Chains A and B, each alone.
Chain A
Amino acid sequence: MRTSHSSQSLICWVIKMIYEGDFLKDAISNLLARGYKVFAPVKLGDFHLFREVKSAEEADFGYILPRNSAKIAVFPENEVLIKYSSWIDEIPFEETRIAIVGIKACDAKAIKLLDEHFLEGFVDPYYKSRREKLLTVAITCEEPGINCFCQSFGINPRKPEADVVFSRIGGKTFVNAYSDAGKDFLSEFNLRNEGEEEARLRQNFERETLEMRKIEIDVEKLKKSFESSYWKEVAVNCKSCGVCTYLCPTCFCFDIYDEGEKKGVRIRAWDSCQFPLHTLESSSHNPRAEKWQRLRNRFYDKFYYALRKGDYYCVGCGRCIDFCPAGIDIVSVISGVR
């Protein structure tokens, strides 16, 4: 199932079209009418959050990045695994098709990373049931946010890995499909092929490198600095609040617990490696009892341990920098390792 979503390089055809109208809103209306569960950015005061929307009007696309990540569509903050009484009553599964409208290149890449985690080895059936019914409609970035550094990971914010990609270039609406699912979806719309001049415009737009922050990752240095006092200094003001991990599009840790004694639900909910209880054992031994050990764990997890799988587990979205109450900045922390 991963191939249909993730191997755009294998697909030699790409649908490149122009749309006259408000494509994103029309896309939402179309998806809702066809019974999709649609996740899109909703404006709340001066920021946006990805949420499930019930009408196109609820969505708003005037953002660089919603505060939370789009992963909620495939990996919700909490979900019921099993309903039980004396024994299992029901195992709920997602039946509806799901769409994310308005995802950006960083979050789209993050879903590929979550795929690696949840679908390799033991397949996580709950994740899979959503993922295989997911359609992504991405937006390209005109400008980066102040803490964006996605290009450091080879991500092109002007060419997200999604089923459908929407761009606003020179007042025109470009929509491209990069998968069968995307192609099918676009067949629902009245589109015309792009002209030669428009193609050039789009290609230039896609090729442009954006001016943004850059992270310097020195894996050898990371390896040597594990015992360095640097990590204590970095963590001095950390609140162990876990905001960084909750907002991160690639973080996947969760807890499982039962709610209800005789009758109830077994739930899984996001957890954070920044919480002291995360690793506390029943013998009361805690392998990461100190907050600096936990913070160090987060950085090594993303830039060192994850390498065994072949990827950094960061997509440079900058959310953990934007919202850390202690001003801990992953770009400077990693670039400045000593």
Chain B
Amino acid sequence: MMQNPYVPYKAQIVEIRDEVRGPRPIKTFKMKLVDRERFDYKSGQGCLVSIFGKGESWFTIANSPTRPDLEFSVLKTGKVTAKLHEMKVGDLVGIRGPLGRPFPLDEWKGMNILTIGGGIGQTPLRAIYQYVIDKENDYGDLTIIYGARSSRDLVYREELFKLIEEGYNVHLSIDNPEPGWKYFVGFVPDNVKRIKPEAKNTIAITCGPPIMIKITLNVLKELGFKEDQIYTTLERRMKCGIGKCGKCRIESYYVCRDGPVFSYAELSSMLEKI
């Protein structure tokens, strides 16, 4: 981490992919650090992307450290993200990071990995499944369950279709029927119920809208998952990213520094409920 943790590194946008169009667009930005090669990070960690004059915004790094790129998937919501969506390849931004506590992927060696995602919540999960795919000898079975409102709202669509072709265990869903859709129609937790993943020796990581997470949690418990087998990432308003400004605090934890990754065992021991 940099000397002055408030000062960003300079980075250049080297590729932009449209993931989702429409009123709530999502773009994935591939970035390259300008003054240094790259930094070491782990799946689950995030960065604050900085645009002087607009501010900073937190994004979980969207790809695994085993891949060469640094990617962020950005849903257009506020000042910083709106500006990012206007930017072009070659433009400069600032990056502060890597920040936060990653997924304990080393502790999960030898276990089955189950990711359950909804919408843009797939971002941190992508950093996991890419990692597990790249280190497949270290892990058991990989199961990817992912859904969105419609097929046009699926982030990393092409990549996921390709994984299906290659024989990976990927289960996609959309909320409502669409002509030509070959996969499950319904909500993500219902898809989990249908697939009935085995709880034994499995870690489940679920990220997505709060309501999806809530129901998924119940489904997982019915399937025999214990709270310490289930992980998620928390979303909080973040400013400093280093546990100083107090914005992201929940109980005595700073989500930016002690999270964003938490196990349900940790979350349920807190007084303040998510």
Contact = CB atoms under 8 A, between A and B. Distances in A.
A118 B246 CA distance: 11
A39 to B, nearest CB: 22
A121 B99 CA distance: 12
Contacts of A309: 252
Interface stretch (A64-72, A155-163, A275-283): A275-283
B224 interface: no
Nearest to B258: A121
Contacts of B4: 91, 125
A121 B256 CA distance: 12
Interface in B22-58: 52-57
A275 to B, nearest CB: 11
- The size bracket of the interface on A is 35 or more
A81 to B, nearest CB: 5
A287 B55 contact: no
A112 interface: no
B252 A121 contact: no
Contacts of B54: 258
Given A82-B7, A256-B240, A282 B53 contact: no
Interface stretch (A171-179, A185-193, A202-210, A260-268): A260-268
A226 interface: yes
Interface stretch (A3-11, A131-139, A247-255): A247-255
Given A87-B10, A258-B53, A282 B242 contact: no
Interface stretch (A13-21, A53-61, A300-308, A315-323): A300-308
A25 interface: no
Interface string B69-87: 0000000011001000000
B98 to A, nearest CB: 13
A183 interface: no
Q: Which residue of A126, A256, A281 has the most chain B CB atoms within 10 A of its CB atom?
A: A256
B247 A121 contact: no
Contact of A253 (B1, B247, B271, B274): B247
Contact of B235 (A124, A262, A281, A304): A281
B152 interface: no
B56 A256 contact: yes
- The size bracket of the interface on B is 35 or more
A283 B236 CA distance: 10
Given A124-B242, A261-B53, 19 more contacts: A82-B6, A87-B92, A121-B257, A122-B242, A124-B244, A226-B271, A252-B246, A254-B239, A255-B245, A256-B6, A262-B53, A279-B236, A281-B236, A281-B237, A287-B236, A300-B271, A305-B249, A306-B252, A308-B252
Q: Which residue of B1, B4, B55, B237 has the most chain A CB atoms within 10 A of its CB atom?
A: B237
A254 B235 contact: no
Contacts of B235: 281, 283, 285
Contacts of B246: 252-254, 271, 273
Interface of A: 81-82, 84-88, 91, 117-118, 121-126, 223, 226, 252-258, 260-262, 264, 266, 268, 271, 273, 278-283, 285, 287, 297, 300-301, 304-309
Contact of A256 (B92, B236, B239): B239
A268 to B, nearest CB: 8
A141 to B, nearest CB: 30
B251 interface: yes
A255 B5 CA distance: 15
A82 B54 CA distance: 13
B210 interface: yes
Contacts of A258: 52-55
A121 B77 contact: no
B52 A122 contact: no
B111 interface: no
29 contacts: A84-B53, A85-B52, A87-B52, A87-B92, A91-B4, A91-B7, A122-B1, A124-B242, A125-B6, A223-B271, A226-B272, A253-B246, A254-B244, A255-B247, A256-B55, A256-B239, A264-B53, A271-B245, A271-B246, A278-B247, A279-B237, A279-B247, A281-B237, A282-B237, A283-B77, A285-B210, A297-B272, A308-B252, A309-B252
A309 B254 CA distance: 13
A282 to B, nearest CB: 4
Contacts of A273: 246, 249
B186 to A, nearest CB: 23
Interface in B218-254: 235-237, 239-240, 242-247, 249-252
Pick the 10 closest A-B CB pairs, nearest first.
A253-B246, A308-B252, A305-B252, A84-B52, A122-B242, A282-B77, A226-B271, A261-B53, A256-B239, A282-B78
A84 B94 CA distance: 12
B212 to A, nearest CB: 13
Contacts of A254: 239-240, 244-246
Nearest to A272: B246
Contacts of B78: 282
A122 B246 CA distance: 14
